[in-house]
Every structure is written in structure tokens, then in C-alpha cells.
Amino acid sequence: MKTFKLKSLQVIESENEEISKKDTTLVDGLIINREDDKSNWLIEAFLEVDYLDYFNELRQRQEQVLVEVRISKDTNDPATFITTIDSLNNINDYISVILIGTIVDKRKSKIEEMLGELIEQGYQGEELLERFKKQL
């Protein structure tokens, strides 16, 4: 297992085909790559108690919660995870939100999308390979 500092957490919501991101004010947090057979990650966010109702509502209405986090440094690119809320714990004036999920490999999906577009444009064989290399 590898443990990292959680620097930011945003919840990605979809409503009426509109996608929005809800920022949270993170007091502290960590993220653990569990390195298990399911490639699960554990995210613990320590937040103000004001977020309790919001996360309770998310837990009740959705099975999966899409989140975007920054790991280790504020300047790092965000990583996207498909998670479920494992637990919510009230700790005095704060809450601990435990999320378990898998990382979304954006690079892989972008590459697959690019390759699909080239195939739709009629490229194949060696020509497809050359065109793909140029676009990378």
C-alpha cells in the first residue's frame, strides 16, 4: 500500500445533462493506493461538519460518486475516481468521509477516442499507425 497526502477534493455532479464540480474545504486528508486485486483506492477527507448533510444526501441518492482529487501537491494535475461512500463519521465539529473507488485513466480513454476517430476517418494498417503517431 502507498499513502499520499490529499490536497483537494471536488465532487463531480451531473444534473439534467449539466456537469458541475462542488468544491470542498478540506481540513486534512489522505489517499491510499490499496494495491489490491481490484485496484481500489481509499480516500479519507476530513471536512467541516457543514458538509455532513451534503454527503449524507449523496450517500442516499447515489451508489457511485465521481470525485476529482489532487494528490501530494496543489500543482499536480487532478485525478478522477469513481467511488462509493464507505462511511461518514462525526468527530466533534468535523466529519471524516471515507470513499473507496477506482481511478479513471484519462490518458487511456483519450487515446482510445483518438484511435476511434482515425478509424472512422478511414485510416487503417500502416497509414493508421503513422497518423496515430503524428497525433500523439
pLDDT at residue 108 in the model: 62
User: Number of helices and strands (H, E) in the chain?
Assistant: 3, 7
d(CA 127, CA 106): 25
Indicate if the pLDDT at residue 103 is higher than 70. yes
One-letter amino acid for residue 131 of the chain:
R
Most confidently modeled of 1-15, 86-100, 116-130? 86-100
Please determine, for residue 112, whether its predicted confidence score (pLDDT) is greater than 90. Answer: no
Distance CA 55, CA 98 (A): 10
Q: In a 10 Å sphere around its CB, with 0-12 CB exposed, 13-18 middle and 19+ buried, how is residue 63 labelled?
A: exposed
Written out in words, the top-level CATH class of the domain with range 2-104 is mainly beta
- Look at residue 46 in the predicted model and tell me its pLDDT: 98
pLDDT of residue 106: 64
The alpha carbon torsion through 97, 49, 53, 74 (nearest 10 deg) reads: -50
What confidence score (pLDDT) does residue 17 get?
Answer: 67
| CB contact at 8 A, 113 and 95 | no
Residue 105 has pLDDT above 90, yes or no: no
CA–CA dist 52, 8 (Å, integer): 17
For the chain, the structural domain boundaries read: 2-104, 106-136
Tell me the whole-structure pTM to 2 decimals: 0.77
pLDDT confidence of 109, banded at 50, 70, 90?
low
